[in-house]
Amino acid sequence: MLFNSLRFAIFLPIVFTVYWLLNKNLKVQNFLLFISSCYFYGSWDNRFLFILLFSISIDYLSGIQIEKTVNRNIRKFWFCLSLTVNLGFLGLFKYYNFFEQSFAEFLSAFGFKESFWTLKLLLPIGISFYTFHGLSYIIDVYKGRIKAERNIINYAVFVSFFPLLVAGPIERATHLLPQIRKKRHFDYANAVNGMRQILWGLFKKMVIADNSSEYANKIFNHSAGQSGSTLFIGALFFTFQIYCDFSGYSDIAIGTARLFGIELYRNFSFPYFSRDIAEFWRRWHISLSSWFRDYVYIPLGGSRGGNWMKIRNIFIIFLLSGFWHGANWTFLAWGLLNAIYIMPSVLFKTNRNNLDIVAQGKYFPTIKDVFDLTLTFILTVFAWILFRANNIHHALSYISGIFSSSLFTKPEISPEGIGLFSLIVLFMLIEWFGRGQQYAIAKIDLVFPKAIRWLTYFGLIIIIFYLSGKEQPFIYFQF
């Protein structure tokens, strides 16, 4: 059930209405969220539901056992059991095929023809996300940062809450579980805010991302023989596609959760308005970056050791981040490239130079800001080529194709493509003026009277229906 589908448009109001009708009984309300989440997840494939429920049960049990056991070895056993199950599922479903194929290719390079037991495993949707929910919970319980959850429904809602189940934001037990335990009250302003964020997310996904994907796919799939300028335009389209696809999804997820009185982590904070790569990573997929920071980077020593330790840790988290996205060498290369990008600012300790919002309180950036923004954006565009390419060879030929004399020729782009580009420019302008907010149109109620607001919403709805491209699944569903 996609967020941009009719099924979800029917599902959401029903769950919302029943949920608030049951407001007097928190337990029943949470049970409804759990059942709805199971239905939502099962609508893709019922078989995947069993994996999810098994993972929930193991983590729930392990959490309680870790907390109530004094014996260190037994605690460690439950901790390791939970880690093994979570990472085992992830490894099996997400990485088995990759390792098997890579090993076979490696052997064949030396003339060996090995035939392996080939498992054509389907990747359960959202496994990378709910596995990370479970891992953060079990690590926090083991480290004594939180108490184990005794109510299995509460825990199941924490892992499987349908807005965040398939593509995040990746939540922490310390943030979400207290909200699930506590009685929620309907808040008008919060609900309206949620609806507005859903609308904005749909616009980003259905209008910008889906339309950009058509052009990006066309250029990436037929990149041979294209001019450098056309290839660059293709990379630009993908840059906006991935941003609007994923941040659009996150907006819908966060907005939906708001309708239920639950606040989720912010996942994006206008990443294309970053002045360096370190700032970009503080603004892009925030919930994953902070997860790696808290559960990998800091335990490894973070930036407390010498330069070599810092370099090692940076490479580890970026390679892990790349590998988290998928079992493909292109993702690893993407992670590696980002590690290289960020390295100078870490070594020269300038990585925390830009903690504020660019040109805060001003309409326009300074010339230096423009230079920094452009440079960071272009570096990001090239990194996305690795992310989007079918394989490393494709990525390298794509990049070398850009750096040819044809880079300065007129790109082959249709009038519709130019129209879409103009729309993207308009969209980025709106994002620019709203960059100090949670999402670009969050404060529209403070600026415009009701009639204008409603007209804006109506206009957005019409634009979504009129300009929506061919329906595409969310990119991050595959992770």
Partner 1 sequence: MKLFIRNLMLFTITCLIAFAVLVTIEKTILNNMGQFKLSMGVKYIFMGHSHPQMDYNDKLIDSSVNLASSGEAYFYTYIKLKKILESNSDKKIVFVEFSNNNIISQMNKWIWNDIYIYDRYRLYWSYTPNTERKLLYTKNPEASILCDIKSVVTNVYYIFSLKNIAKDERMGGYLHLERDKTDSLLQASLIYARNKRPDMSISPVNLMYLRKIIQICKDNGTKVILIRSPLHPVYDEFKNESRYEEVLNSQFNDVEFLDLKNFPMINSDYGDLEHLNYRGAKKYSLFFNKLLKEGLLDSADKQKFINDQMALEKWQN
Which residue lies nearer to partner 1 by CB, 308 or 466?
466
Which residue lies nearer to partner 1 by CB, 110 or 466?
466
Which residue lies nearer to partner 1 by CB, 186 or 403?
186
**Tokens 């194929």, located at residue:** 101
- The three-class DSSP label of residue 258 is helix
Q: Considering the complex, what minimum distance in angstroms separates the CB of residue 450 from partner 1? A: 9
Q: Out of 11, 20, 31, 427, name the contact with partner 1 by CB under 8 A.
A: 20
Is 325 assigned a catalytic role?
yes
Q: Does 188 bind partner 1 (CB under 8 A)?
A: yes
**Tokens 């206009």, located at residue:** 459
Task: DSSP letter for 271, please.
Answer: G
Whether the CB-CB separation of 314 and 195 falls below 8 Å is answered with no
Q: Does 454 bind partner 1 (CB under 8 A)?
A: yes
Which residue lies nearer to partner 1 by CB, 340 or 467?
467
Residue span binding partner 1 (CB under 8 A) among the ranges 60-68, 188-196, 294-302, 345-353? 188-196
Q: Which two tokens stand for residue 218?
A: 């066309």
Q: Does 458 bind partner 1 (CB under 8 A)?
A: yes
> CA 463, CA 361: separation in Å to the nearest integer?
30
b/e string for 77-114 if b means 16 or more Cβ within 10 A?
ebbebbbebbeebbeebbbebeeeeeebeeeeeeeeee
- The three-class DSSP label of residue 468 is coil
x-marked contacts with partner 1 along 191-210 as a string, rule CB under 8 A? xx--x---------------
> CA 360, CA 350: separation in Å to the nearest integer?
19
**Tokens 């941003």, located at residue:** 243
Which residue lies nearer to partner 1 by CB, 259 or 317?
259
> CA 94, CA 129: separation in Å to the nearest integer?
12
Q: Does 471 bind partner 1 (CB under 8 A)?
A: yes
Name the residue type at position 275. Answer: R
| Residue 287: CB atoms within 10 Å | 21
Q: Does 416 bind partner 1 (CB under 8 A)?
A: no
Which residue lies nearer to partner 1 by CB, 175 or 184?
184
Residue span binding partner 1 (CB under 8 A) among the ranges 5-13, 43-51, 147-155, 395-403? 5-13
Residue span binding partner 1 (CB under 8 A) among the ranges 4-12, 168-176, 353-361, 398-406? 4-12
Q: Does 415 bind partner 1 (CB under 8 A)?
A: no
Q: Does 70 bind partner 1 (CB under 8 A)?
A: no
Which residue lies nearer to partner 1 by CB, 9 or 347?
9
Q: Does 462 bind partner 1 (CB under 8 A)?
A: yes
> CA 129, CA 173: separation in Å to the nearest integer?
13
x-marked contacts with partner 1 along 139-178 as a string, rule CB under 8 A? ----------------------------------------
Which residue lies nearer to partner 1 by CB, 106 or 454?
454
**Alpha-carbon dihedral 22, 24, 27, 29, rounded to 10 degrees:** 30
Q: Taking every pair of C-alpha atoms in the chain, what is the biggest distance, in angstroms?
A: 73
How far are the Cα atoms of 255, 288, 442 from residue 16, in angstroms, in the given order? 12, 28, 22
Alpha carbons within 13 A on the beta-carbon side of 198: 19
Residue span binding partner 1 (CB under 8 A) among the ranges 71-79, 309-317, 363-371, 465-473? 465-473
Q: Considering the complex, what minimum distance in angstroms separates the CB of residue 225 from partner 1? A: 22
Q: Considering the complex, what minimum distance in angstroms separates the CB of residue 467 from partner 1? A: 9
Q: Is 120 exposed, middle or buried (0-12, 13-18, 19+ CB in 10 A)?
A: exposed
- The three-class DSSP label of residue 199 is helix
78 CB-near residues (< 8 Å, 6+ apart) = 61, 62, 65, 66, 69
Q: Considering the complex, what minimum distance in angstroms separates the CB of residue 6 from partner 1? A: 4
Q: Does 186 bind partner 1 (CB under 8 A)?
A: yes
Q: Considering the complex, what minimum distance in angstroms separates the CB of residue 44 from partner 1? A: 16
Tell me which of 133, 185, 222, 325 is the catalytic residue: 325
Q: Does 466 bind partner 1 (CB under 8 A)?
A: yes
Q: Does 429 bind partner 1 (CB under 8 A)?
A: no
Q: Which two tokens stand for residue 265?
A: 């982590």
Nearest C-alpha neighbor of 321 from the set 337, 308, 310:
337
Q: Which two tokens stand for residue 107?
A: 């052997």
Q: Considering the complex, what minimum distance in angstroms separates the CB of residue 463 from partner 1? A: 9
**Total of residues contacting partner 1 (CB under 8 A):** 18
Footprint on this chain of partner 1 (rule: CB under 8 A) = 5-7, 20, 186, 188, 191-192, 195, 454, 457-458, 461-462, 465-466, 468, 471
Residues designated catalytic: 325
